[in-house]
Structure 1
Amino acid sequence: MRMGVLDIGSNAAQLLVIDACAGAPPLPVYREKRLTRVAPAIRPDGLVTPAGVDRLVAAVCSVVEAARAYQVDELIPYATAAVRDAANRDDIVAALRAGTGLDVGFLSGEDEGRLTYLAAHRWFGWAAGPLLLLDIGGGSMEIVQGRDENPAVSLSLPLGAGLLTRSHLPEHPATSRDVKRLRRHVRGVLAPVVRRLDWETRPHKTVATSKTFKQLACFAGESDPAGSRVLHRRELRTWIPRLARMTPKQRAELPGVSRSRARQLLAGAVIAETTMAALGVDRVEVCPWALREGILLRRLSPPSYGDNLRGVCLRDPAGIVTNLDDHRLAGSVC
């Protein structure tokens, strides 16, 4: 069966397509990406502007057509924090339903963290020991820790790179005063998290997912002997003043940095470095698998896995719980 996951985020709608087989890794046969640019369309009151909603629907419509062209049998569409937390979320969902024929679901931040952790745990394997996972999105950051495939702790914090760019970094290049103010804010939000994680077993490995970490590792990281990208806190810290002095256009010229994410790159770097410092982490290893792979892994888990998908669910805007296997590519053609 050909399956797809459609991730509707603050910057882009991204499709991952696999030929599904229980027990096999979720290796992609096709990827598609269309810019949504929801983040700059979010007003101070939390509403996404009509123009932003139109761009979002057009992007999702294009990706759904690609899924149909590649004969996807089952599609799991979900939206992350930017849409999930929007003040006019119901209107956005209705517009997506009218424009694409899809009923888009949502995961809580904590469930996003659990599924991302599942993907990282499968990637690194049992030999990795206890894992600490960091994921910086546009609207939130997830911190997850555990030893088994079901983590002991999954936390979602309002520390997204796009969110904090809008609230704390109004100008680019940015002033050192604004960067310090942002760092203080991140430390304050992290303080209870640090106390909570002190109760857990010290992780053997810290891994990072999300586009933010991948882009930072492209120009500020290095490859380890196994070929994985590694980001060191000391190197990241030296880059923060340099990024602050750059315009978004200049940041987009750095290796691996896209134009659509260049403006929020500085906030992402500050969040990443401050979090690593607060948690006593000197290096993170970037994991190629993340939330989309985690959803597919959970969807393909055999009944003997335990909860048979009932433990992690997509939720519709009315709060009705719907199992992942109920989301199929159906409805009107764009």
Structure 2
Amino acid sequence: MRLGVLDVGSNTVHLLVVDAHPGARPLPAHSHKAELRLAELLDMDGAIGPDGVDRLIGVVHDALQAAEDKGVEDLLTFATSAVREASNADDVLARVQAETGIELQVLTGAEEARLTFLAARRWFGWSAGKLLVLDIGGGSLEIAYGIDEEPDAAASLPLGAGRLTAGWLPVDPPAPEAIRALRRHVRAEIARTVGEFSRFGSPDHVVATSKTFKQLARIAGAARSAEGLYVQRELKRESLEAWVPRLAGMSAEQRSGLPGVSEGRSGQLLAGALVAEGAMDLFGVKNLEVCPWALREGVILRRLDHMGSP
């Protein structure tokens, strides 16, 4: 059957259409996305303003039309950090439902981490052993660890690249003291969670998902996306540590000229790099592998599992 998953994320509203059946891997058929950067649209009270809600509704309408055009039979919809933590979340959800007919399921941070972990586990298989999975979104950082399909530990921290850029690095290029302050904040937040994971022992394989990690791996020398899903892409901590000061000295426009860095994400890349560097350092990770599957695929896989249940 043809499934669609509509992901209202903190950076992007993304419709992914796949041909999927229980027991088979989902095959991508169509992708429709729009960058809203909701994490950067929150006002001083933490609310998504009327203009942001209007834009969200318009993008959802466009995605629904794309889903209809592509013959989607079952549409799964969810929202993540930006909507979840908005002070007017209930009003936003009510307006979206009233004007589009779509009832967005708001995932908790722990659910995000667990579903992303499921996707990574299915991608790498049981032979990967104990997995540590890191995912940097626009609004939050998800961390999950385990040996099965359900992680033994999962956490969500308010360390998304968009959120941190808007709150800590509003000037382009950012001042050195602002970067140092953000670095201290990021590492303090991550350090609070390390003990929760370290008690399970060292992972056998460390995996990262998300656009931020893909872009960081690309500028550090990983293969281009055009070379396909099945090419192994890694990010070494020493390479990342060498790139962070270089990124700090660039404007967003200069970063957009780097390999694999889009103009829409270039402003967030430094904050994302500080989170990635902090996580790899504090968890003792020297090298990680980028996984092409993430939250959307996890939502699809969970749906297929339920379809296949008696």
Settle same-fold status: TM greater than 0.5.
Answer: yes
Q: Which residue of 1 aligns with 2:273?
A: 269
- Give % identity: 51
- Map 1:110-121 → 2, pairs under 5 A: 110-121=110-121
Relative to 1, partners in 2 of residues 1:206 and 1:256: Cα closer, same or farther, differing over 3 Å? same
Does structure 1 conserve the Cα–Cα contact (< 8 Å) formed by 2:13 and 2:34? Answer: yes
Does structure 2 conserve the Cα–Cα contact (< 8 Å) formed by 1:34 and 1:60? Answer: no
Cα deviation digits, residues 47-101 of structure 1 (max 9, x gap): 1111111111111111111001111111011011011111111121122113321
Paired letter, 2:95: A
- Map 1:138-287 → 2, pairs under 5 A: 138-223=138-223, 227-287=231-291
Please state how far the C-alpha of 1:189 moved relative to its aligned partner: 0.9
Runs of at least 4 residues of structure 1 off by over 3 A?
A: 302-305
Paired letter, 1:81: S
User: Does the residue aligned with 1:166 lie in a helix, a strand or coil?
Assistant: helix
Give the TM-score, by structure 1 length: 0.88
Does structure 1 conserve the Cα–Cα contact (< 8 Å) formed by 2:79 and 2:104? Answer: yes
User: Does the residue aligned with 2:32 lie in a helix, a strand or coil?
Assistant: strand
Does structure 1 conserve the Cα–Cα contact (< 8 Å) formed by 2:206 and 2:287? Answer: yes
Paired letter, 2:304: L
Question: What root-mean-square deviation, in Å, do the aligned CA atoms of Structure 1 and Structure 2 show?
Answer: 1.5
Please state how far the C-alpha of 1:303 moved relative to its aligned partner: 6.9
Give the TM-score, by structure 2 length: 0.94
Does structure 2 conserve the Cα–Cα contact (< 8 Å) formed by 1:139 and 1:160? Answer: yes
User: Across the two proteins, how many residue pairs are aligned to each other?
Assistant: 304
Please state how far the C-alpha of 1:304 moved relative to its aligned partner: 7.4
Structure-1 separation of matches of 2:295 and 2:272: 18
Structure-2 separation of matches of 1:234 and 1:160: 22
Q: Which residue of 2 aligns with 1:288?
A: 292
Does structure 2 conserve the Cα–Cα contact (< 8 Å) formed by 1:133 and 1:209? Answer: yes
Please state how far the C-alpha of 1:40 moved relative to its aligned partner: 2.8
Does structure 1 conserve the Cα–Cα contact (< 8 Å) formed by 2:133 and 2:209? Answer: yes
Structure-1 separation of matches of 2:35 and 2:162: 14
Does structure 1 conserve the Cα–Cα contact (< 8 Å) formed by 2:22 and 2:307? Answer: no
Please state how far the C-alpha of 1:302 moved relative to its aligned partner: 5.2
User: Does the residue aligned with 1:301 lie in a helix, a strand or coil?
Assistant: helix
Cα deviation digits, residues 161-211 of structure 1 (max 9, x gap): 111112211211122221111111111111221112221121011000011
Please state how far the C-alpha of 1:130 moved relative to its aligned partner: 0.4
Does structure 2 conserve the Cα–Cα contact (< 8 Å) formed by 1:34 and 1:63? Answer: no
User: Does the residue aligned with 1:93 lie in a helix, a strand or coil?
Assistant: helix
Cα deviation digits, residues 209-262 of structure 1 (max 9, x gap): 011111111112435xx8311011111111111111211111112121122211
- Higher helix fraction (1 or 2): 2
User: Does the residue aligned with 2:305 lie in a helix, a strand or coil?
Assistant: coil
Structure-2 separation of matches of 1:151 and 1:39: 27
Structure-1 separation of matches of 2:144 and 2:157: 11
Q: Which residue of 2 aligns with 1:88?
A: 88
User: Does the residue aligned with 1:300 lie in a helix, a strand or coil?
Assistant: helix
User: Does the residue aligned with 1:186 lie in a helix, a strand or coil?
Assistant: helix
Q: Which residue of 1 aligns with 2:227?
A: none
Paired letter, 1:135: D
User: Does the residue aligned with 1:30 lie in a helix, a strand or coil?
Assistant: strand
Structure-1 separation of matches of 2:270 and 2:161: 8
Relative to 1, partners in 2 of residues 1:71 and 1:227: Cα closer, same or farther, differing over 3 Å? closer
Structure-1 separation of matches of 2:141 and 2:97: 28
Relative to 1, partners in 2 of residues 1:19 and 1:262: Cα closer, same or farther, differing over 3 Å? same
Does structure 2 conserve the Cα–Cα contact (< 8 Å) formed by 1:6 and 1:77? Answer: yes
Structure-1 separation of matches of 2:51 and 2:66: 23
Does structure 2 conserve the Cα–Cα contact (< 8 Å) formed by 1:9 and 1:81? Answer: yes
Does structure 2 conserve the Cα–Cα contact (< 8 Å) formed by 1:130 and 1:201? Answer: no
Q: Which residue of 1 aligns with 2:106?
A: 106
Cα deviation digits, residues 104-162 of structure 1 (max 9, x gap): 11111101111110010010011111000000111111110000111100111111111
Does structure 2 conserve the Cα–Cα contact (< 8 Å) formed by 1:13 and 1:59? Answer: yes
**Equivalent of residue 299 in structure 1, options 293, 303, 307:** 303
Paired letter, 2:111: D
Q: For structure 2, list consecutive stretches of 5 or more residues without a partner in the other structure.
A: 224-229
Structure-1 separation of matches of 2:147 and 2:199: 14
Which stretch has the larger CA shift, 94-103 or 58-67?
94-103
Does structure 1 conserve the Cα–Cα contact (< 8 Å) formed by 2:22 and 2:308? Answer: no
Does structure 1 conserve the Cα–Cα contact (< 8 Å) formed by 2:190 and 2:278? Answer: no
